[in-house]
Structures are given as C-alpha cells and as structure tokens.
Amino acid sequence: MSLYADDSKALESHPDWLQTYIDSPEKQKQLYRRTLIIVVISQIFGGAGLAAGITVGALIAQEMLGTDQFAGVPTALFTLGSAVAAYLVGRLSQRFGRRLGLAAGFLTGGIGAIGVVISALSNNILLLFASLLIYGAGTATNLQARYAGTDMASTKQRATAVSISMVSTTFGAVAGPNLVDVMGGFAVSIGVPALAGPFILAAVAFILAGLVLLVFLRPDPLLVANVIEAVKSREKEDLSIVNSNSTQRIERRGFIVGTTLMILTQMVMVGIMTMTPVHMRHHGHGLSEVGMVISIHVAFMYLPSFVTGILVDKIGRTAMAIASGATLLAAGVFAAIAPADSMLFLIIALALLGLGWNFGLICGTALIVDATHPTSRAKTQGTVDVLIALAGATGGALSGMVAAQSSFATLSLAGGFLSLLLLPVVVWSRYKKTNNG
C-alpha cells in the first residue's frame, strides 16, 4: 500500500507525528533544514563515488581492450545503468519515500563498484561491463538526491535547495580524482590493478551514502510534502480533481524546456569529458595531471551551485538557460583550440564545461519542480533523469568513435555547437508564454 497523498486511506487519518507537521509551518521549516543537512552529508560521500567512473572508467577499458575506439563504452554503460536506476529510484521514491529509494540506489551502486574491482583482478571484460551498469545506480542516485531538498522548499527556495545539495557533492567529487594516485598505490599494495583503486573508494563512498540516508532521513520529506499538499487540496474541496488528474498536472512548457535543457547539457558535458583523460594520456600527461584536470572540472560542475541557485531564483530560469548554452559553446571552442601539451587551456575548457553543465542542471531542475505536482513529482523526476542518463550514455558512446575517426578537437567543437540548440527552445518557450498571456 502506498504511503502517499493519492492513497485515500492515508488521507482519512494521520499519525500524530505527521499531524504535527501538517499543523505547524515551523515544523515544516525544521524538516526542510534537517533534510538538507542529511542530503548534504550523503552527497559528500556520493560525490566521491561518482568521481571514479569519470576519472578512470575510460582508461580501464582502454587498457583491457587495447584500443581507443571503445574507450567511451564505460561511460556509456554506467550512464545507461543510471538511466534504468533513475526510473526505478523515482518509482521507489514515489511509493515508499525518498529514504528507501535513494538508499537502495546508493547501495546498489556500491555493489557495482565492488564488481568493477573484481573484474580488474580477473581481467574479465564482460564482468567489467556488467558491473559498470550496476555502478550507474550510484551516479543516478547522486543526481536524484538533489530533488529531496526541494520536497519541503517553497517556490522561491527550490533552486537554492538544489544548489546546496550540489555544492556538498563538490567535496567528495573533487577529492576523488585527486586520490587517483593514492588509491592506485593502495590497490597495488593489496594486489589489485592500480586503475581499479578509485573504484575501491567508490564502493565505500556509495555504501556510506546509502546508510546515511537509510538511517537518518526521517521523517521522509516526500511523504510529509505529499500529505500536506493533499490536506490543502481537500480544504479547497478539489481533492478528487487532484487524485484523478495528478499525473496530468504538469505544466507542459516548463517541463519541455527543463527536460531539453538538462538533456543537451548532459550530452555535451559527458561527450567532451569522457575523452579528455584519453586525449591527455596520448599526449604524455600522467595520471596525476589527468586527476587534476578532472577534479577542477568536477569542482566547476558542483562548487558554483550555491551562487547558481540564487541566480536562477532571482534573475530567472530563461536567463540562466541561455547562459548555460553560451558557456558550453565556449567550453567546446576552448577544448578544440587547446594545445595538447597545455594544462592551462585544458583546465579552462573543462572548467567552462563543468560550469555550463551546472547552469543547465540547476535551472532545468527548478523548471521541472515548478512544472510538476507533489503527487506525481518523484516518478516524473525519475523519468526525466532517465532521459538525462540516456543522453549521457549517447554522448559517452559516440565520443570515443568521433574522436577516433576524426579528432578530440572535432568532438569538442561538435559538442559546443550542439549546445546552441538550447536557444530555439528558450525562444519557443518565451513565445508560447507571451501568446498565452
């Protein structure tokens, strides 16, 4: 039986603890703050877990397969796995709450990371691919956790809530790539191939993130938000309309713009990011230098989030969507013209790439939350993240092929110009809004 507001039995009576949240705006604010704290802690661990796949996933495949052409396959696999996980985590969250949905996703990702380590030990490419699919559950959950902070947020707090969650990811995500050499040395000391070292860190990090949510995310913010919304609707004597049409209660224009924005930014970011370590290794850069560039890239993916969230809430979704496209275009151009031996140019390119993605993700997330109703929000968010993950999988899979058949510069320029597709979508949304009054 569902615990949520669209369950008629759940609406007849509320446990005493739940009733206190319904009756007290102050308790609701306290839950909002508490939820953010728990999400922040889990995201610190989760960020460390997702960095492993970004940093050495392509290098493991390159080493096992002996060719660059399929170096993008690991990224494609764990992003494809994250697509399936995003769907399942969204459904689990809608039915049983954020706590169980997010905890299950992180714990599954930890199991996948353990599988990657075992595959490296046994040199088993099929096990590697299967494990990367499962590892994708952790990356999907790390992304979906940003929604938990918005469940109890007001309209003017939503982008800020997302940004706080994402800023906290920075600490783990930046530390992860910089620990490549350290974890590689640790792995070698216990008889594991060096490139598998970061996945040892990922396994521990994802499992800890899952346990933090499972133990401490109480009461469940989505449960409370759904019941509060249901009570408000009943007081307005339109609860039957909410229940019968909850899946239709999506503001289509905002939904389309938000989804398109996040899909395009994910595809561009993953495509260029995936081949950067391979490009650098081909031109004599060591693992520590690769780790530094990727860590700066990840820092710009998450660290500007707090400022980005404020900007999205203050100056508007449209302006930040345009800023995302312009920044990604600049990233593609910088990556294309960067001399292969220039760390500075590569750092600038990857920093811009992370920043453009940051603008797009936070702005798109706010648009999706604005456009959905609490009674169907979690499963809708899960569906959107499926599309984001599939876009990442496509970008990752094609990146190796494009770079192998042409060059890293061509790949970067293609990604930059792809981001320009955001502009007609934004123009269309403004045109529709004007014509609809």
Instruction: Tell me how far apart the alpha carbons of residues 272 and 56 are, in angstroms, rounded to a whole number.
Output: 15
pLDDT of 436 strictly over 60 = no
Best mean pLDDT range from 39-53, 173-187, 292-306, 343-357: 343-357
pLDDT-wise least confident of 37-41, 220-224, 255-259, 283-287: 283-287
Instruction: Tell me how far apart the alpha carbons of residues 136 and 152 are, in angstroms, rounded to a whole number.
Output: 27
Instruction: Tell me how far apart the alpha carbons of residues 338 and 317 are, in angstroms, rounded to a whole number.
Output: 31
- In this structure, which amino acid lies at residue 54? I
pLDDT band at 242 (very low <50, low <70, confident <90, very high): very low
pTM confidence score: 0.74
Instruction: Tell me how far apart the alpha carbons of residues 315 and 358 are, in angstroms, rounded to a whole number.
Output: 16
What is the predicted pLDDT for the residue at 1?
36
CB crowding 8-27: b at 16 or more within 10 Å, else e: eebbeebeeebeebbeeeee
CATH code matching the domain that covers 8-435, chosen among 1.20.1250.20, 3.40.640.10, 3.40.50.300, 3.30.1490.190: 1.20.1250.20
What is the predicted pLDDT for the residue at 216?
94
The domain spans of the chain are: 8-435
